[in-house]
């Protein structure tokens, strides 16, 4: 069971680790060198490990000391963040928040929303991690994550907020259509230069079609691609360069569709794509900062 005893000695320990000596730590804490040394010694005795390697010339953290130092720093920072949050009015966003987002969607859709929020709330201090993998929110200390796709299971300690589903379309550049013609069916599509999304091993992911001749069921079909690219923005660039047909989410190409730089082909095969969610550790929804930020992001990112 945690008690106040666990906090004793932490401040002298951190000060000693930062200063590199008991004497300098004592000066910072306005204590005697002996008092700091004894406090650290009592902490080591309670923990049952040596936190420092001592010699006549130097004092440095042991392996156990480095691990304990990192933990203490993290816990004290979280306490400071909690105090900052509680000091703010419930509707004001302020302080540090760590946000995890998918790479391309994060750059193209989440970042504009966050830039608006930073302008609206000058005291908000976001730290944004870009990754296409399903990060562990607890291990990587993520306050809020934007996720594309559904994990195999939602941990009970995670909250979720559904934002809608992607819409997937087949598209190409007008220059490609002028050169190769417009495919009129799936069979004709297979004769075209296809740009596929690649798995980690380089194998292409199947395309998903909303085919009427399958009784409303989705059809998954692997094409023989001209190229396989493991990045959404790279596939869009290949389409813009007139290199072929790709199946892309509309959030990736809507501006190019509006300008005519990309055109939709076989619109009858357009289909719903992966779901999008906001996810967060449930314990952090209790803080005004996290709760307000979730609502702000939902308002800006929900797909109508």
Give pLDDT, residue 16.
92
Instruction: Tell me the domains of the chain and their CATH numbers.
Output: 4-70 (1.10.10.10), 95-165+275-301 (3.40.190.10), 167-272 (3.40.190.10)
How would DSSP label each residue in 121-161?
-TTEEEEEEE-SS---TTTTT-SEEEEES--SS--TTEEEE
Query: How does DSSP classify residue 303?
Result: -
289 in Cβ contact with 95 (< 8 Å): yes
The pLDDT tens digits for 182-203 are: 999 888 988 999 999 987 677 8
Query: CA-CA distance, 259 to 147, in Å (whole number)?
Result: 28
Mean pLDDT of 19-47: 91
Q: Which residue has better confidence, 232 or 152?
A: 232
Identify the weakest region by mean pLDDT among 54-63, 95-104, 113-122, 224-233: 54-63
pLDDT band for position 205 (50/70/90)? confident
Which of 39-48, 54-63, 101-110 has the least mean pLDDT? 54-63
Whether 222 has a pLDDT exceeding 80, the answer reads: no
Mean pLDDT over 71-99 rounds to 74
CB atoms within 10 A of CB 115: 11
Helical packing angle, 288-301 and 111-120, nearest 10°? 130
- Whether 87 shows a pLDDT value over 70: the answer reads no
pTM: 0.66
Which is nearest to 173 in space by CA: 218, 237, 78, 127? 237
Residue 214 has pLDDT above 60, yes or no: no
Q: What is the pLDDT of residues 93-143, one digit of tens each?
A: 788 899 999 999 999 999 999 999 999 999 999 999 999 888 888 888 899
Pairing of the two strands 227-229 and 194-197: parallel
């Amino acid at each position: 069971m945690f008690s106040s005893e666990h906090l004793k000695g932490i401040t002298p320990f951190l000060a000693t680790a930062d200063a590199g000596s008991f004497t300098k730590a004592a000066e910072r804490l306005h204590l005697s060198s002996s008092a700091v040394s004894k406090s650290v010694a009592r902490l080591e005795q309670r923990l049952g490990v040596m936190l420092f390697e001592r010699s006549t010339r130097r004092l440095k953290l042991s392996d156990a000391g480095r691990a304990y130092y990192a933990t203490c720093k993290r816990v004290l920072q979280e306490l400071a963040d909690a105090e900052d949050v509680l000091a703010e009015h419930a509707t004001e966003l302020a302080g540090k928040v760590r946000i995890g987002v998918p790479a391309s969607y994060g750059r193209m859709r989440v970042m504009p929303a966050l830039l608006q929020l930073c302008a609206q709330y000058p005291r908000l201090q976001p730290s944004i991690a870009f990754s296409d993998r399903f990060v562990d929110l607890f291990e990587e200390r993520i306050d809020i994550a934007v996720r594309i796709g559904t994990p195999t299971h939602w941990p009970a300690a995670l909250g979720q907020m559904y934002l809608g589903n992607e819409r997937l379309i087949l598209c190409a550049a007008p220059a490609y259509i002028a050169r190769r013609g417009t495919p009129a069916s799936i069979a004709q599509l297979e004769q075209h230069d296809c740009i596929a999304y690649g798995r980690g091993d380089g194998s292409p992911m199947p395309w998903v079609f909303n085919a009427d001749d399958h009784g409303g069921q989705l059809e998954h079909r692997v094409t023989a691609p001209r190229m396989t690219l493991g990045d959404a923005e790279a596939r869009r660039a290949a389409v813009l360069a007139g290199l072929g047909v790709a199946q892309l989410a509309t959030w990736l190409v809507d501006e190019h569709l509006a300008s005519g730089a990309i055109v939709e082909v076989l619109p009858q095969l357009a289909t719903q794509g992966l779901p999008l969610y906001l996810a967060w550790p449930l314990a952090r929804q209790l803080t005004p900062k996290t709760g307000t930020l979730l609502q702000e992001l939902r308002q800006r990112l929900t797909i109508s």
